[in-house]
Amino acid sequence: MTCCCSRNGRLACGLISGFALVITGVIILCVGNKLVKDVVKKEALLVNGTMAFDNWIGTSNDFYEQFFVFTVVNYLEVTNEQATPYLRQMGPYTYRIKYLPKTNVTFDDNILSYTQFNEATFIPELSQGTEDDIITTLNLAAVIAPVILHGKVPNALISIFFKALNIQLFQNRTVRELLWGYEDKILKHFHVSDPTIGLFYPYNGTTNGGMSIYTGEKDINNVGMIYKWAEKTSVPYWNDTYCDMINGTEATSFPPFVKKHQTLYFFSSDICRSIFAKYHSMKYIRKIRAFSFVVPEEAMAAAQNYPNNYCYCKSHEAFLKNCTKAGVLDISPCKGLPIYMSLPHFLFADEEYRRDVYGMNPNFEEHKTHLDVEPVSGITISYAKRLQINLRLQPFPDITLLNLSKDILFPMVWLNETATINEEDAKKINDSMNIPLSIITFLEFILMILGVLIILLSLFCYMVFPGHKDQTPLL
């Protein structure tokens, strides 16, 4: 038996102890990480009793939506001289978006289905202005009437009606009316089924259309992925298998163990399509490490530069700049109205859109859409969804009011929807996943470093301090 008191024994003991610590660290690395990952996979399932389901079913997080509206400063010059519109941004007008408790929640063979109603409440203390602020903006009904009445009422008759009632191209409306709706005399005169019009009408009391998502029980990599929206497995707007795909999650969470190189896909009913985000940076939110993913320029790039977007071009009319220019999506096939979506202030869009109006000042940090995802659980702990609604202002034959020199996309409002995980839910994530994983990582690191140091120190002492020769005692 080797004695640790001798020189060789001390070396042997040091090496054995060092290697034992290193091996123990490796074992903790393998076994500990596997245990944590098994717990994460279990808790990430959208089934009764898991952390993911409790977070999903709860309504503790409120979302805030800021609206920045554009008022037309030189509306008389635009009307009389066809001058370039000068727009001034007003706001924000902030609303708390409370997602009411999910209803009709059912489970059926790895599929979770539900319905959720929406409700918005104005928050004066977080706003710059009131809902009664007056905005000079396009006459919404006058612009869309030729579109929704096409084939039913001749343009000449529409023009006569506009003249008889002295309908103007621009109108003054309150913020409340512009956003949430008002009864319009044009639509009422032509017996449109619902004469109320507004950029976000209707909203309160509406639903998400009904959603079905995967629970992840059969495949954890599918957890949260959308199976159906509005009872359909694909959207009916683009007449193309690729563009009609409902691809990804609702963006509130993703399958666990998110990597920086991944592309995160999510579906947005606001733009009637799936879209994606790519890794941008790392940040800490409420002491939680998060990967920040940003919707990149190519997501809404021109088809020439990003061929995957070719099928979002629905018409070959010369005006449809979305077919040839970057940064704008024509969602009229989805909404039935001449609405085009972009990022705020035409961020990432072709310069031509910004030249058609004055007042656009795109800024990446202020106008980007991003998702901040906790990489272990896949939960989105913070996000900002930013979109701009633009109305197509175009000439129509035989309508004097719309005797315009050119087509333009007219910015109406941009929204900034944000949410951040609350302290209670952040603590749950830290306590159940991040802290145990950090302890395991710290322990394995310390053991392996300590083991290596003991090995190196033993070898150093053996070579530097030769010690005394062993002596045989006299009898």
Q: Max CA-CA distance within the chain?
A: 134
* C-beta of residue 469 within 8 angstroms of C-beta of residue 21: no
Residue type, 42: K
Residue type, 19: F
Alpha-carbon span 75 to 446, nearest angstrom = 69
SS3 312: helix
* Residue-level pLDDT, tens digit, the chain, 475 residues: 455 656 566 556 656 766 666 666 566 666 666 777 777 888 889 998 888 888 787 655 668 999 999 999 999 999 988 899 999 999 999 999 866 677 889 999 999 999 888 889 999 999 999 999 999 999 999 999 999 998 899 999 999 999 998 999 999 999 999 999 999 999 999 999 999 999 999 888 888 788 999 999 999 999 999 999 999 999 999 988 999 999 999 998 999 999 999 999 999 988 999 999 999 999 999 989 999 999 999 999 888 888 888 888 765 453 444 565 889 998 988 888 999 999 999 999 999 999 999 999 999 999 999 999 999 889 999 999 999 999 999 888 899 999 887 889 999 999 999 989 888 888 877 776 666 666 666 666 676 676 667 666 666 676 766 655 544 443 3
Alpha-carbon span 23 to 200, nearest angstrom = 62
Identify the sign of the CA torsion 131, 137, 139, 144.
negative
pTM for the model:
0.85
Quick one: angle between helices 140-148 and 155-164, nearest 10?
160
